[in-house]
């Protein structure tokens, strides 16, 4: 009986509270909603939600903004796509009748970056055309045009092709990779998995800048170089190599080059920054090759030698923690003329420490010119020496 009375009393209080809330709600709807209607907030996509001290804490976005961005991307892709081409690597083989015939050894992508005097120039990757006897360029409308390899460079993974420009409709606009920001939109255009999927477009963002990726050209398990690349999550698949990475304005900011191909990895692709590529493209176009300074030595990184041999065979002081050792010296080379010998250990160039083969190549290839002098610090039988080498032509 007592339990029943308590419930009845609670019920009366609950009804009274509900009436109060409903009355207050009606007041809020009547008084507050008209004031919002008068301000027309919902139709103003630029209006800000402000907090204390007038700091912006959010923004009301109209869906028309997303439509505008999507339309811009669509228009940019439509404009740029004709400048992105397929590249077919064709090699010759002898058939059963002892006749030479060509076969498709591989496919990739390329970008038309210049037309001059009826000739179109295409940039692609070195690995796309490596070993080719002939090359064909496939335009976006499936037109096939024979192309000539002007030159290529293994260290930058870039190559330049030349072809007739009579059927070329578009040359890509060149942007800059210097001020590319992490998180900004990026669009990759190319031919993944061959020409069946030509002019495929993938969209993502810039995931990282100034990345360095080890390169093993001779597949001996040792890094020969470190590529400096832009990282993106825009899908880059086999066949995309040599294609365009563009910004939201349709400007070329990178040449798609590689991706990490592991089962546990997704969305990590790399492009050669256009600011880094342009000088190489220009030299390949004008001379057909990249001519770099060289010492004339066969070298290996010191960390490839068991540490016990540093003192036992090379007689290095205990305070040496890196360098490159000379395995052989070419006769009459700059190194030979400067007196370098087998098993000398180079530790500095122009006073800069050398830890491995990549460090040495970067100084030679990026900071020095043919004919310049370079100060070389090396150790021989535990003694330190310095010599000056006049760099020759590779």
- Catalytic residues, by residue number, are 127, 157, 241
User: Which residue matches tokens 């304005």?
Assistant: 249
295 — alpha (psi -120 to 50), left (phi > 0) or beta? alpha
Query: What's the CA angle centered on 344, arms 339 and 350, to 5 degrees?
Result: 75
Residue ranges in 229-388 assigned as alpha helix (H): 274-287, 307-312, 334-338, 357-367
CA atoms within 13 A on the CB side of 27: 6
Residue 256 tokens, joined = 């798609």
- Among residues 347, 305, 308, 342, the alpha carbon closest in space to that of 324 is found at 347
Looking at the DSSP assignment, which residues form a beta bridge with residue 259? 269
Q: Where is 119: in which H helix or E strand?
A: strand 119-124
- Asked if 267 and 252 touch (Cβ cutoff 8 Å), the reply is no
User: Which residue matches tokens 């800048």?
Assistant: 209
């Amino acid at each position: 009986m007592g339990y029943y009375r308590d419930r009845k009393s609670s019920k009366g209080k609950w009804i009274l509270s509900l009436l109060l809330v409903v009355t207050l709600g009606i007041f809020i709807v009547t008084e507050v909603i008209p004031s919002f209607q008068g301000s027309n907030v919902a139709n103003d996509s630029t209006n800000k939600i402000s907090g204390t001290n007038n700091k912006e804490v959010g923004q009301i976005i109209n869906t028309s903004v997303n439509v505008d961005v999507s339309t811009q991307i669509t228009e940019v892709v439509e404009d740029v796509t004709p400048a992105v081409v397929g590249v077919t690597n064709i090699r010759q083989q002898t058939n059963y009748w002892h006749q030479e015939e060509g076969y498709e050894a591989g496919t990739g992508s390329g970008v038309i970056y210049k037309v001059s005097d009826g000739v179109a120039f295409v940039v692609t990757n070195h690995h796309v055309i490596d070993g080719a006897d002939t090359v064909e360029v496939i335009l976006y409308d499936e037109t096939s045009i024979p192309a000539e390899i002007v030159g290529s460079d293994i260290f930058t993974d870039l190559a330049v092709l030349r072809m007739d420009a009579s059927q070329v409709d578009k040359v890509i606009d060149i942007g800059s990779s210097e001020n590319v920001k992490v998180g900004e939109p990026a669009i990759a255009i190319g031919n993944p998995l061959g020409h069946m999927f030509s002019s495929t477009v993938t969209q993502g963002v810039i995931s990282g800048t100034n990345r360095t990726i080890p390169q093993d050209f001779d597949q001996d398990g040792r890094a020969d170089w470190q590529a400096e690349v832009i990282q993106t999550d825009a899908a880059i698949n086999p066949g995309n190599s040599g294609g365009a990475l563009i910004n939201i304005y349709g400007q070329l900011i990178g040449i798609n080059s590689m991706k990490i191909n592991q089962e546990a990895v997704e969305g990590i692709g790399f492009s050669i920054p256009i600011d880094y590529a342009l000088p190489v493209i220009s030299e390949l176009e004008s001379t057909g090759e990249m001519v770099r300074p060289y010492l004339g030595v066969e070298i290996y990184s010191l960390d490839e030698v068991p540490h016990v041999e540093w003192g036992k065979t090379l007689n290095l002081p205990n305070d040496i923690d890196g360098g490159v050792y000379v395995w052989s010296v070419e006769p009459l080379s700059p190194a030979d003329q400067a007196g370098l010998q087998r098993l000398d250990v180079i530790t500095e160039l122009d006073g800069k420490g050398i830890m491995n083969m990549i460090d040495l190549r970067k100084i030679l290839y990026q900071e020095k010119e043919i004919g310049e002098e370079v100060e070389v610090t090396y150790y021989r039988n535990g003694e330190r020496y310095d010599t000056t080498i006049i760099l020759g032509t590779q």
